[in-house]
Amino acid sequence: MCLHKKSVKNLTMNRIITTLLAVLALSLTAVAQSSSHQYITVVAEPDHADWTYHVGERAQITAYAIKENVRMPNTEITYSYGPDKLDAVYTGKVTTDRNGMAHFTVPGAKAPGFTSVRVKVNYDGRDYSSMTNIAFDPYNIQPTTVMPADFEQFWSDAKAKAAQVPIQPQVRYCAEQSNDRVDVYYVRLQSYRKGNYVYGVLTVPKTEGRKPAILRLPGAAVRSFKGPNELAYEGFVVLEIGVHGIPVDQSEEIYRQLEAGALAGYTTQGIDNRDTYYYKRSILGCVRAVDYLCSRDDVDASRIATYGGSQGGMLSIMTAALDNRVGALFAYFPAFCELTGYYNGRGGGWPHLFRNPDEPNLKARMEVSRYYDTVNFARILKTPGFYAWGFNDPACCPTSTFSAYNVITAPKQLQVGRDTGHWLYPWQVDNAIAWLKTQFHMQ
């Protein structure tokens, strides 16, 4: 229940806490396994500081293990390397010298892409490991997915049909989550077809006049949403939506039941047909959310951005590509890039479809995927974008994200935190917000 106002939080602390929670939510596994949480840190250090090489160029790797801040001498390190997200093609062992250092060579890749270099130490019966993804001409990586001839017509027709459905917004004020700087509302919008809804949380700064707006799009999960969204303290009206067509203010028990039941494996539901695939409703729901933002008197419809990571990064690109009312986007480690990658012998993006060549109806499903691959939306994108990810992302691997980034012809900027996994550094987020403000003439 929303009953009373809370006192306003200190902005700096609010952003620090939000960033930490976002990192935790995005990759609990990656954080738990990161070197900073291991008793022994194992390192594969490339001889190029930017971890980047030309095709055919050998990489010289220095390997070492650190225990209690001291390199471990005379220690055996097992190493392996192979294409990003695929099996290792070579495994070997080296022993550190008296200074705790060992060396090995990784052959140059034959084509643009990434090679995963893994190192492991066994100490007192426990394994400690890490991964370093080195790049070979990453800005020359080209996708394997093909754009269907009727791609744009398919989505144009889908949008036109959805636009005939009345939006019928229901907006409920939440006093408990509001404060003296922002107002928070829970929103329901009819979308896609009658009786189908988009649910979200709207945070509105208590300032005069029309304001720029952000459509905040979610990563993969089934969960609740609460306000206030911290981006509103930066001067944006923020609408954060779910993509499952369910209310976003229910108990966590309900979401866990849905995640284990009706929404289990939702990323493949209906994938045998382009009109029944799960994400058709989700994508059109994002466009409906833009409709709603543009209808508000407190929103400057010429200054609307999409913003999200992983599944949210994919939806940020897709929404901007389909709706020219979106004037800027921030997408970090976008999912659904290069869905046919595995079938073509290279890493594919989350949710890692088509890894099994014996999958039923494989060819038809891959054909459907071309209408939903982030790469194909990137090909028609005209919106300026800010992008961020790392080389070590195990979920949305860099081979896949660079495949999408490289086909974008719209103005673009990429900031890479090479050692990041499925998470961002605060400076990447801060730079993205500063970029959005510049795009919208807020500073």
Q: For residues 53 and 30, what is the distance between their CA atoms, to the nearest angstrom? A: 26
Beta bridge partners of 104: 61
CATH architecture of the domain covering 38-140:
Sandwich (2.60)
CB-side neighbour CA atoms (13 Å) of 305: 28
Q: Are 336 and 310 in contact (CB under 8 A)?
A: no
SS (H, E, C) 374-431: HHHHHHHCCCCEEEEECCCCCCCCHHHHHHHHCCCCCCEEEEECCCCCCCCCHHHHHH
Give the pair of three-digit tokens for residue 4.
């009373």
393 catalytic per annotation: yes
422 catalytic per annotation: yes
352 catalytic per annotation: no
Per-domain residue ranges of the chain: 11-29+145-439, 38-140
pTM: 0.91
Residue 364 has a pLDDT of 96
Q: Do domains 11-29+145-439 and 38-140 have the same CATH topology?
A: no
Catalytic residue, chosen from 178, 316, 373, 422, is 422
Residue 237 has a pLDDT of 98
Task: Calculate ∠ Cα 303-306-311, nearest 5°.
Answer: 175
Is the CATH code 3.50.30.30 the one for domain 11-29+145-439? no
Give the pair of three-digit tokens for residue 143.
């996708």
CA distances from 400 to 65, 138, 198, 243, 374 (A): 30, 10, 29, 23, 10
Catalytic residue, chosen from 130, 393, 400, 403, is 393
Residue 31 has a pLDDT of 37
Residue 2 has a pLDDT of 53
Map tokens 């990656």 to a residue.
30
Catalytic residue, chosen from 310, 316, 369, 403, is 310
DSSP 32: H
**Regions of the chain where pLDDT drops below 50:** 1, 3-36
Map tokens 């050692």 to a residue.
419
State the CB neighbour count (10 A cutoff) for residue 414: 15
